[in-house]
Amino acid sequence: MALPDLGGPSRRDFLLRTGALSLGFVPFLARAADAPKPEDENAPRNPYADAVFVDGEPPLPAEGAFTFAVLPDTQFYAQKHPDTFLAQTRWIVEQRDRRRIAGVLHLGDITNSNTVPQWENARKALQVLVAAKMPMCLVPGNHDYGPGGGCADRTTMMSRFLPVAELSQAPHWKGNYDKEPDRSENSWHFLEAMGRRFLVLCLEFGPRDDVLRWANEVVAAHADREVILVTHAHIYHDDTRYDQARFGKKQNHNPHTYFAKAKPDINDGEEVWAKLISRHENFILTLNGHVTADGLGRFVSATPKGHPVPQLLVNFQMKPNGGDGWLRLIEMRKDGTMRTFDHSPTRKQTNASPQNQFAIPWA
């Protein structure tokens, strides 16, 4: 499928042409023929085999556009490369006005082992955003739970180092899971830019049933807002949702394989789709990290009423030095489309590969 003309057909025309409205599912922006998806995420591969490096920063946003900055899986920065984490957050703050950055979305695995030193490193980097009053929305990943980050249970230091009492002082913070008022793993936020009004919904790794009850209530109460879901594990690197019932061991690291003491109160991507996203018509995007292999995935599926929702996976932890500082910028254009740009402030490069720089056909 070729890149859509960002100034051309309406989103409905595009979806009808691709079949998203009738089929309920469509991968979008097919990868280059010479860059197949890896079959085995554990298979050795060149971490930059498909890269198209361009020195310097991505282009500035188009007229009337703004940007979300996405930080996936900073676990190895918190563990071994804290200066890289700091370089990312400082660059985002420095670029705030030039790129009209409306907020930062962290996709989880803030730390690698859920230890005090790693949380201290993460907090130091994230405090750069807090001090600059940059809206920040974040979730825990599996490595942020349990002793040693083993995710045997839902104990985490997240609320100790990123406490609700502190995070809730930001104007964009609107609330957190009603049954756990002192825990920061589940929260919701209002972000606004260029006349658009968003609700960013942040959900824990493998959300529990009652967390989804709460999330449904939050979304239903704000049907006038465009909703972005941020969670650690939702879609897989083969452009399907995590689905334990359907795929079992064919998909590695499904949330159902964690939390030995919490089963069966866990929901994977397919269950979150069925129990939450598909029940509403105002989700416009989901974002997750977690998955390795090439750490990239994307597809669109439609609700029963025909509303298409793009879903993106982005994770750079497999690159050298714990991720080489890569982050994702999502440019939200005034014609309703979105476009991604992956940039590394430490390498001072942009990756213009079709897997890293592409248009998203629905917003």
Residue 231 DSSP one-character state: -
Expressed as residue numbers, the domain containing 239 is: 18-31+47-360
For 89, 124, 150, 181, 198, the CA distances from 94, given in Å and listed in that order, are 9, 17, 35, 33, 23
In a domain, 10, yes or no: no
In this prediction, the residues of the chain whose per-residue pLDDT falls under 70 are 1-44, 362-363
Element (H, E) at 140: none
**Residues paired with 307 in a beta bridge:** none
In a domain, 38, yes or no: no
* Cβ burial, residue 284 (10 Å; 0-12/13-18/19+): buried
**How far is the first Cα of the chain from the last one, in angstroms, to the nearest whole number?**
18
Q: What is the pLDDT of residue 336?
A: 87
**Cα pseudo-dihedral 16, 20, 24, 30, rounded to 10:** 160
Q: What is the pLDDT of residue 84?
A: 98
What percent helix, strand, coil does the chain show, rounded to 5? 30, 25, 50
In a domain, 194, yes or no: yes
Q: What is the pLDDT of residue 213?
A: 98
Give the three-class secondary structure for 223: coil
Reported pTM: 0.90
In a domain, 189, yes or no: yes
In a domain, 4, yes or no: no
DSSP 264-301: T----HHHHHHHTGGG-S-EEEEEE----TT-EEEEEE
Q: What is the pLDDT of residue 7?
A: 34
Q: What is the pLDDT of residue 174?
A: 98
In a domain, 355, yes or no: yes
Tell me the Cα Rg of the chain.
Answer: 19
Q: What is the pLDDT of residue 45?
A: 74
Q: What is the pLDDT of residue 26?
A: 52
We report the CATH number of the domain holding residue 246 as 3.60.21.10
In a domain, 265, yes or no: yes
- C-alpha 312: how far from its chain's center? 7
Q: What is the pLDDT of residue 262?
A: 73
In a domain, 1, yes or no: no
- Per this entry, what is the length of the chain? 363
Residue 84 — φ and ψ, nearest 5°?
A: -70, -40
* Cβ burial, residue 350 (10 Å; 0-12/13-18/19+): buried
Q: Cα–Cα distance between 24 and 32 in angstroms, integer?
A: 24
pLDDT digits (tens, 9 = 90+) for 236-280: 999 999 999 999 999 999 999 999 877 789 999 999 999 999 999
Number of domains the chain is built from: 1
